[in-house]
């Protein structure tokens, strides 16, 4: 899969309401996780696949003087992030791809990503980049709704029309260790608002499985 295909898909999502839909759908879980990322005053965070930047803004408000940079391959998403930016957030947004991050080694205290890293055309290289830009003693927090243990999510790749890495929790953990993280743990985060449609068994199962939260610490 090429970055052009990814760009075309998400440029269209930026204009058809799906960007806002992701904020609504992911917001509860993301706020739970950001609250537990240990972001302290002055820390610098990176948001990979920031979409229209709503989580980047939360990262940039997570502690006094904290800052955040969002990276996305979609120019329309970056334009929307800039339009919806609010001046109380110490956040900015840049165009870029996961496999060639334009930041120096060890730049960030925290690297965050919600529902994005599995679109990387070269996942090994993307995870190596995540490890490279994470500071020694820093952490990466990757959130994924699509993973092997969550039934009903395998078809998402064909639904979206893009290839997406399809890994189990153990495989994700191993991939992060291979990328250079010293300690990797995982947890599931469940949306506190309940299933989107309590009468739809697939929605109920999706909600119960929760979001996979991969926490990777760099020595």
Ligand X SMILES: C[S@@+](CC[C@H](N)C(=O)[O-])C[C@H]1O[C@@H](n2cnc3c(N)ncnc32)[C@H](O)[C@@H]1O
| Backbone angles phi and psi of 189, in degrees to 5 | -120, 125
Report which of 136, 127, 56 is spatially closest to residue 98, judged by C-alpha positions.
127
Selected binder of ligand X within 39, 44, 93, 98 (CB under 6 A)? 98
Q: Which of 159, 162, 156, 153 is nearest to 212 (CA)?
A: 153
**With left for phi above 0 and alpha for psi between -120 and 50, is residue 183 left, alpha or beta?**
beta
Q: Rounded distance, CA 58 to CA 83, Å?
A: 16
Of residues 34, 91, 120, 131, which one binds ligand X by CB under 6 A?
A: 120
DSSP 3-state assignment of 174? helix
- From candidates 115, 129, 139, 173, binder to ligand X by CB under 6 A: 115
In this chain, which of 22, 91, 176, 214 binds ligand X, going by CB under 6 A?
22
Total interface residues for ligand X by CB under 6 A? 21
Nearer CB in complex with ligand X: 64/83: 83
Residue number with CB closer to ligand X (5 or 217): 5
* Integer angstrom CA distances of residue 38 from 67, 141, 147, 179: 14, 11, 25, 22
**By rule CB under 6 A, what string of x and - marks binding of each residue 49-68 to ligand X?**
xxx---x-------------
Exactly one of 33, 62, 116, 179 binds ligand X (CB under 6 A); which one?
Answer: 116
Q: How far is the CB of 195 from ligand X (least distance, A)?
A: 19
Residue 150 binds ligand X, judged by CB under 6 A: no
Sign of CA dihedral 217, 92, 125, 103: negative
Q: How far is the CB of 178 from ligand X (least distance, A)?
A: 19
Toward ligand X, which CB reaches closer, 42 or 91?
Answer: 91
Which H or E run includes 93?
Answer: strand 91-95
CA 60 to chain centre: 15
Positions in the binding site for ligand X (CB under 6 A)? 6, 10, 22-23, 26, 49-51, 55, 71-74, 77, 97-98, 114-116, 119-120
């Amino acid at each position: 899969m090429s970055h052009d295909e990814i760009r075309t898909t998400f440029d269209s999502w930026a204009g058809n309401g799906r960007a806002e839909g992701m904020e609504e759908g992911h917001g509860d879980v993301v706020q739970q996780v950001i609250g537990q990322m240990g972001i302290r005053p002055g820390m610098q965070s990176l948001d990979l696949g920031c979409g229209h930047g709503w989580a980047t803004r939360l990262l940039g408000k997570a502690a006094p003087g904290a800052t955040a940079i969002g990276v996305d391959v979609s120019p329309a998403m970056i334009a929307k992030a800039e339009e919806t930016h609010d001046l109380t957030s110490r956040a900015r947004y840049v165009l870029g791809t996961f496999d060639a991050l334009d930041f120096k080694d060890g730049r960030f205290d925290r690297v965050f990503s919600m529902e994005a890293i599995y679109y990387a055309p070269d996942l090994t290289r993307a995870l190596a980049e995540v490890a490279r830009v994470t500071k020694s003693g820093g952490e990466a927090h990757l959130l994924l709704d699509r993973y092997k243990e969550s039934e009903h999510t395998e078809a998402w790749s064909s639904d979206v029309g893009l290839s997406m890495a399809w890994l189990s929790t153990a495989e994700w953990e191993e991939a992060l260790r291979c990328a250079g993280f010293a300690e990797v743990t995982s947890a599931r985060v469940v949306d506190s608002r309940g299933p989107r449609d309590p009468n739809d068994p697939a929605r109920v199962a999706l909600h119960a499985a929760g979001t996979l939260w991969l926490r990777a610490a760099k020595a």
